[in-house]
Amino acid sequence: MSTAKKRRVVVLGSTGSIGTSALKVARELPERIEIIALAACGSYEKLARQARETGVRHVALYDSSKENELRALLPADVKIHLGPEGLIELATLADADVVLVSIVGTAGLHPSLAAIEAGKNLAVASKEILVMAGEIITAAAEKHGVKLLPVDSEHNAIFQCLDGHRGGEKEISRLILTASGGPFRQLPAAKLEHVTPAQALKHPTWEMGPKITIDSATLFNKGLEMIEARWLFGIGMERIDVVVHPQSIIHSMVEFRDGSILAQLSRTDMCFPIQYALTWPDRIKGGLRPLDFPTLAKLEFETPRTADFPALDLARRAGLTGGTLPAVFNAANEIAVEAFRAEKIPFPGIWKCVTAVMDAHVTQPSLSLEAVTAADRWARDRAIDFCEKSAPQFSS
C-alpha cells in the first residue's frame, strides 16, 4: 500500500477525548484520513452529531436501549449497529484500513481481536487491551501481519524513537516512560486520605476522561502503561522505568546500550500521537503547533514516590508475574476508581483494594481469552466486595 493513500479509519470510542481529537486530526488532513465509521457507548446525541459532520454510513451504539433516539437524529441511509456485536461489525468493515480503539475499559478487547483477524491495522488507545491480553493480541497481530500503532502519548513517543532503528531489542537498555505526577505529586502522604474526587479530576497538564484522570492521580495509569509497553515493544518489565516530569513536554525516552537516549518532545496535545499513528510511516504537516523552546522555563525530573503511590510497584509485580495477574490488576483498579468517585472508599483505598485482590488471586500462567475474561470477572466481584466492606468504615 502506498504511504500516500488515504487511510480509511473506524473510530471505536468516538465521543471520548481521544475520539474527538481523532476527528479533529481527520478534519485537518482530509486528503490523508477518511473517517468511515464511528462507535460510542451511550452518548447518542454526540455520536449523531459526529456522524452528520463526517458523513459516515455506519455507526455503533454499545447501549442498545438508545437505538430509537439515535435513529431519530440520523439520516435514513446510516446503518446502526448495536451492542458488543456492533463494535465487532464496525471493526471488520471490508473497506477499513485502520481501526482506532479508544474505548475505556475492557469492551474493546473482542473488537480489537476481530479487527486484527480481519487484517486491519490497530491504532491502540485503550491500554486495557494489552494489559489484559497482551500476549494474545501481539501473537494475533504477528500471525495476521497487522501493525499495532500506539496512540498513548508515551508509547507513541517510544514508537517514534524506535522507528527506523535497525539494531533490534538487544541494543535497547531500557524504556523510560514519563509521568506528570498528577495533582498530588507533592502532597504529603498524610493528606492523601482526605483527597476528594473533584480534586483528583483536576489534572495539571492534560485534559482527559474521568477514569484516566483518576488513574493519573494515583499513577495507576503509568502502571498500566508499563505493562502495555512490555507487549508493544517486546521489552521485559525489568527494563521499563518511570520518571516524573511535571511539564509533560518529553513524552517518553529510549536509552540504548551505549548510553545514548532518544526522547520525543511536543506540546501536551493528543492530536500529535493520533496524527502520527494514523499517517504512519509518513510525517504530515497538519494544524499542530511545534514547541517554542525559548518559552519553556524549565524541564524537571523526579523519582516517583512509590512508597506513597504504590501503583507502579503493583504494576511491575503484575507484569513480571504475567498470566492472568495483569487482568486482575486492571479490573480491580477499574472497580476501585468507580468506588472512589462514588465516595465509597478514600483515595488510598484504590491501592488497598487492588493489593488485596491481587494477593487473593491464584494466577493462571497459561493464557487464553477465556482465562483472561474469567480472571477479569473474578477480580471485579472481589473488588466490589472489598469496596462494599470498606464503605461503612469510610463513611463513619
Q: How many domains does the chain have?
A: 2
Contact between residue 291 and residue 265 where contact means Cβ atoms under 8 Å apart? yes
CA distance 57 to 75: 9
Domain boundary among 126, 151, 176: 151
CA distance 198 to 200: 5
DSSP-derived letter for residue 300 is: -
CA distance 376 to 110: 14
Is there a domain that residue 251 lies in? no
pLDDT at 81 over 90: yes
Is there a domain that residue 147 lies in? yes
Cell numbers for 41, please give them. Answer: 457507548
- Which CATH number characterizes residue 49's domain? 3.40.50.720
Is there a domain that residue 98 lies in? yes
Is there a domain that residue 20 lies in? yes
Is there a domain that residue 111 lies in? yes
pLDDT at 1 over 50: no
**DSSP-derived 3-state class of residue 177:** strand
Of 392 and 77, which is predicted with more confidence? 77
pLDDT at 396 over 50: no
* Count of alpha carbons within 13 angstroms of residue 61, beta-carbon side: 22
CA angle (375, 380, 385) in 5-degree steps: 125
Q: At what angle do helices 153-162 and 220-233 cross, to 10 degrees?
A: 30
Structure confidence at residue 2 (pLDDT): 42
Structure confidence at residue 204 (pLDDT): 79
Is there a domain that residue 209 lies in? no
Domain boundary among 151, 180, 209: 151
Strands 261-265 and 250-256: antiparallel
Is there a domain that residue 211 lies in? no
Is there a domain that residue 236 lies in? no
Question: Which domain does 70 fall in, by range?
Answer: 7-151
Which range is least confidently modeled, 45-59, 137-151, 154-168?
A: 154-168
**pLDDT tens track for 370-387:** 999 999 999 999 999 999
Q: Tell me which residue of 302, 327, 150 sits closest to 229, measured CA to CA.
A: 150
- Which CATH number characterizes residue 371's domain? 1.10.1740.10
DSSP-derived letter for residue 194 is: G
